[in-house]
């Protein structure tokens, strides 16, 4: 265990508080806004923002509660009314059928969910939802949000579990001026809000000072350019878009340098975690949220949407964003409707004579294929019935689908045709097609496949100023697996990059560098302008001791650590935050506090696998080997199909000399996740060490078929065959290894030694 950061540990322990929010002014309610902003209020009334959440009543509940039953996986739920209230009889957290009162509606169309309140202050979203579409569109029915999964009361996705908790998962974006009010002492909530929906002040900030400003005389009003508001959303105001007659595309009359509107919208229309409350008081997105990047489980390699990512990450990578387009150029921010119907919204900036012509889209006029939105913003359906358009606004590229396996709008529509057919059509129609604006598909595909070419490809992306910031940040994040002497310069450049997203990602990638070497990289970012960068720098440097003479640096470290701790304490209701706090205490050299945090995490969610691994590592590093084994067995009891737990158990048993049990556990991990290269490599090496050479070569050979670029597997195959006297086979594997990195001296030496045996 590290013991070098006692001073920092004391500083953190003394300041486990949530950071105060900035800004001033009281919340006045949307009714106060309606007095002067009549049109905006009328546009908002009845919008999805207005109806985001409502008290359950006969005017707001859309579902059929007339003793209607819904059966699924052996559970029959019944929806009914009693004493003017709405109820569901369904399985609770203990699996038994119980009556639950519906307290709130959640959303309105194309589906409506229902919230149930528990005595400890938590609101839970029922997983059976009402399809509010018309009956002729397949609606007016109850349906389950996870139709292809068997989810009982023990499952993490059950409606009573943390993944369906409104206070953390939903409330910040479905109410105004929300405060979670979580009490760590008894695991309860005392949440509060100003208005139950997404009202005026959710986007414009508290209106109290603005109302006071309206009562000033004209002269005093003129002296206050803020109009009593904490921020202004004016980048759409006096701007005009001038169409270039040659290109047929409009250009913004002045560059968009503010992006305040985008930052405000991003608070809810992005995949992100909250690190500080009070975003309504300050339009600095990265001071309050930690956004997701274009990572593998969320986006396809070319940046198209895969999981639910809520628009921001897509639009940030678009050519439209780069040109200065902002949300309200296309959407009425109050009604949320498009500025014009269908393709007409695109015609605001793109001449129909050029882009609505058959020679451009090659489809019959008026057909679905002639729609700008269908080709450039294809839909993906989430929550069973909710289609959402991809806001990366890209040119469909079936040729890239053929090469990289990414989706494309052509085959999404022409589902009966092959990728080859679509590629040939595309090539015939657009023989001069240029490199796509989203130019990172090859690099991300290589990175996800473990290709040796990935490192340099990612480095090139990072250093390309024309590549969108969010893609460059993702490249930095992916680079952590490929840091060497050739790519280290790109990481260093990322640390001083103009984009806070890139700097944030650089701090995450420092995990690939030994802690003692991180200070020159992360130290300067402890005083970054953005909180999300500072806390990532603090996390990367936790436990790294500053020179005693550098008091200023130590003070910056203390401050950034306090911000990091505050971000985790804000989310103390989540198992991930408790684990992060445990990891921090490990870095700071406090195993007792670390164990307490890990144990609290397990209590919050006994099925969360990573915390068992971390607690086992803590015990092992403290010399408590029996406890390390015991906690892994506890984890396997909770999650018997978690391959990583079996793999970790096998490693622990190897260290204790129990080779027979270790082989069983390591083999189980491979059986559960046969495509995990690391598991197969370790199991293969362990089999060889146990004298089961043929079994070892078989396991490693299968792993190589799945991961032909994995250097560890190739090296093991080469050396095991060498030791067996199979020189020809060993040379074959060594030559494949050398082809991955011809400059590697170790592989060359291996080949030379093998050649000498011939």
Task: Report pLDDT for 279.
Answer: 86
Sign of CA dihedral 457, 533, 277, 38: negative
pLDDT over 80 (residue 16): no
Beta strand 75-82 with 85-91 is: antiparallel
Q: CB neighbours (10 Å) of residue 756?
A: 8
Tell me the backbone φ, ψ of residue 349, rounded to 5 degrees: -125, -15
Q: Which of 276, 136, 278, 274 is nearest to 202 (CA)?
A: 278
Tell me the backbone φ, ψ of residue 455, rounded to 5 degrees: -55, -50
pLDDT over 90 (residue 393): yes
The secondary structure element, H or E, covering residue 751 is helix 745-755
CA distance to 14, 129, 583, per residue, from 590 (Å): 14, 46, 10
Query: 16 and 565 in contact (C-beta within 8 Å)?
Result: yes
Distance CA 202, CA 204 (A): 6
Give pLDDT tens digits for 212-259. Answer: 999 999 888 888 888 998 888 877 767 889 999 999 999 999 988 888
Average pLDDT, the chain: 93
Task: Report pLDDT for 524.
Answer: 94
Query: 591: pLDDT confidence band, cut at 50, 70 and 90?
Result: very high
Place of tokens 């590290």: 2
Give pLDDT tens digits for 354-363. Answer: 999 999 999 9
Q: CB neighbours (10 Å) of residue 323?
A: 15
Task: Report pLDDT for 13.
Answer: 32
For a pLDDT cut of 70, what percent of the chain falls above it?
96
Who contacts 397 (Cβ-Cβ below 8 Å, separation ≥6)? Answer: 302, 406, 408, 426, 433, 436
pLDDT over 60 (residue 600): yes
Task: Report pLDDT for 758.
Answer: 59
pLDDT over 60 (residue 10): no
Task: Report pLDDT for 419.
Answer: 97
Query: In the predicted model, what is the mean pLDDT of residues 79-99?
Result: 97
Mean pLDDT lowest for which of 38-42, 271-275, 551-555? 551-555
Domain range summary for the chain, segments of one domain joined by +? 53-174, 241-406
Distance CA 3, CA 138 (A): 63
Distance CA 688, CA 680 (A): 12
CA distance to 50, 158, 436, 554, per residue, from 462 (Å): 41, 41, 17, 30
Query: In the predicted model, what is the mean pLDDT of residues 657-678?
Result: 96
Give pLDDT tens digits for 434-483. Answer: 899 999 999 999 999 999 899 999 999 999 999 999 999 999 999 999 99
Distance CA 239, CA 364 (A): 35
Query: 49 and 336 in contact (C-beta within 8 Å)?
Result: yes
CA dihedral 362, 367, 371, 377 (to 10 degrees): -100
Query: In the predicted model, what is the mean pLDDT of residues 707-723?
Result: 95
Task: Report pLDDT for 567.
Answer: 98
Task: Report pLDDT for 157.
Answer: 94
Query: 66 and 78 in contact (C-beta within 8 Å)?
Result: no
Task: Report pLDDT for 545.
Answer: 80
Task: Report pLDDT for 757.
Answer: 64
Task: Report pLDDT for 234.
Answer: 75
* Peptide bond just before 110 cis, omega within 30 deg: yes
Here the contacts of 728-733 (C-beta below 8 Å, separation 24 or greater) are 730/754, 731/755
Secondary-structure breakdown of the chain: helix, strand, coil percentages, each rounded to the nearest 5? 50, 10, 40
Give pLDDT tens digits for 173-203. Answer: 999 999 999 999 999 999 999 999 999 999 9
Beta strand 182-183 with 85-91 is: unpaired
What tokens does 68 get? 């209607």
Task: Report pLDDT for 220.
Answer: 87
Task: Report pLDDT for 548.
Answer: 60
Task: Report pLDDT for 225.
Answer: 87
pLDDT over 50 (residue 576): yes
Ranges of beta strands (E only) in 332-447 are 379-382, 386-389
Task: Report pLDDT for 754.
Answer: 87
pLDDT over 90 (residue 398): yes
Query: 549: pLDDT confidence band, cut at 50, 70 and 90?
Result: low
Distance CA 161, CA 122 (A): 10
Query: In the predicted model, what is the mean pLDDT of residues 513-525?
Result: 92
> Can you spell out the DSSP letters for 191-229?
-B-SBSS--HHHHH---HHHHHHHTS-HHHHHH-TTTT-
């Amino acid at each position: 265990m590290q013991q070098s950061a006692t001073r920092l540990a004391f500083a953190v322990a003394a300041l486990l508080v949530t950071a105060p929010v900035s800004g001033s002014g009281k919340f006045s309610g949307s009714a106060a806004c309606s007095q002067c902003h009549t049109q905006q209020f009328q546009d908002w009334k009845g919008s999805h923002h207005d109806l985001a959440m409502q008290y359950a009543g006969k005017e707001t509940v859309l579902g059929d509660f007339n003793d209607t039953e819904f059966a699924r996986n052996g559970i029959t739920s019944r929806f009914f009314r009693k004493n003017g209230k709405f109820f569901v009889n369904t399985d609770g957290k203990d699996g038994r059928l119980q009556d639950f009162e519906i307290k709130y509606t959640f959303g309105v169309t194309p589906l409506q969910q229902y919230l149930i309140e528990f005595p400890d202050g938590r609101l839970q979203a029922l997983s059976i939802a009402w399809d509010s579409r018309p009956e002729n569109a397949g609606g007016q029915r109850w349906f389950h949000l996870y139709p292809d999964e068997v989810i009982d009361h023990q499952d993490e996705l059950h409606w009573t579990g943390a993944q369906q908790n409104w206070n953390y998962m939903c409330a910040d974006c479905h109410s105004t001026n929300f405060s979670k009010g979580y009490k760590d002492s008894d695991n309860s909530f005392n949440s509060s809000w100003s208005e139950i929906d997404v009202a005026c002040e959710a986007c414009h900030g508290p209106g109290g000072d603005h109302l006071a400003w309206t009562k000033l005389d004209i002269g005093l009003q003129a002296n206050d350019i803020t109009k009593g508001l904490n921020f202004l959303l004016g980048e759409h105001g006096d701007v005009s878009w001038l169409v270039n007659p040659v290109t047929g595309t409009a250009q913004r009359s002045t560059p968009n340098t503010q992006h305040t509107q985008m930052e405000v919208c991003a608070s809810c229309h992005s995949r992100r975690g909250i690190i500080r409350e009070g975003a309504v008081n300050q339009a600095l997105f990265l001071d309050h949220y930690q956004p997701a990047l274009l990572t593998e489980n969320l986006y396809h390699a070319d940046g198209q949407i895969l999981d639910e990512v809520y628009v921001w990450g897509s639009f940030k990578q678009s050519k439209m964003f780069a040109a200065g387009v902002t949300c309200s150029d296309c959407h009425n921010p109050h009604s949320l409707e498009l500025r014009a119907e269908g393709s007409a919204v695109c015609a605001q900036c793109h001449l129909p004579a050029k882009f609505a012509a058959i020679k451009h889209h090659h489809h019959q006029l008026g057909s679905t294929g002639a729609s700008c939105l269908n080709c450039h913003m294809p839909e993906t359906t989430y929550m069973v019935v909710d289609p959402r358009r991809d806001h990366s606004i890209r040119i469909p590229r079936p040729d890239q689908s053929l090469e990289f396996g990414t989706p494309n709008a052509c085959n999404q529509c022409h589902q009966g045709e092959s990728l080859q057919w679509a590629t040939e059509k595309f090539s015939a129609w657009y023989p001069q097609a240029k490199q796509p604006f989203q130019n990172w598909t090859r690099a991300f595909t290589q990175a996800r496949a473990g290709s040796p070419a990935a490192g340099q490809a990612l480095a090139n992306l990072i250093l390309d100023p024309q590549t969108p910031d969010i893609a460059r940040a993702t490249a930095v994040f992916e680079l952590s697996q490929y840091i060497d002497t050739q790519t280290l310069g790109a990481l260093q450049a990322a640390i001083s990059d103009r984009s806070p997203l890139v700097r944030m990602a650089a701090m995450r990638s420092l995990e690939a560098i030994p802690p003692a070497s991180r200070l020159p990289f992360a130290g300067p970012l402890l005083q970054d302008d953005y909180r999300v960068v500072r806390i990532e720098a603090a996390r990367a440097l936790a436990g790294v001791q500053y020179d005693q003479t550098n008091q200023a640096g130590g003070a910056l470290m203390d401050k950034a650590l306090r911000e990091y701790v505050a971000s985790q304490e804000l989310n103390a209701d989540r198992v991930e935050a408790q684990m992060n706090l445990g990891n921090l205490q490990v870095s700071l050299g406090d195993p007792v506090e670390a164990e307490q945090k890990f144990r609290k995490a397990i209590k919050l969610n006994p099925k969360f696998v990573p915390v068992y691994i971390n607690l086992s590592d803590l015990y092992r590093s403290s010399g408590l080997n029996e406890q390390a084994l015991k906690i892994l067995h506890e984890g396997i009891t909770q999650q018997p199909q978690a391959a990583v737990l079996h793999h970790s158990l096998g490693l622990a048993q190897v260290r204790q000399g129990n080779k027979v049990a270790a082989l069983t556990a390591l083999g189980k991990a491979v059986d559960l996740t046969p495509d995990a290269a690391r598991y197969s490599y370790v199991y293969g090496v362990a089999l060889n060490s146990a004298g089961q050479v043929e079994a070892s070569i078989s396991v490693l050979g299968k792993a190589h078929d799945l991961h032909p670029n994995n250097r560890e597997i190739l090296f093991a195959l080469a050396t095991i065959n060498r030791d067996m006297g199979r020189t020809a086979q060993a040379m074959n594997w060594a030559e494949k290894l050398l082809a991955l990195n011809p400059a590697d001296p170790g592989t060359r030496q291996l080949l030379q030694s093998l050649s000498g045996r011939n």
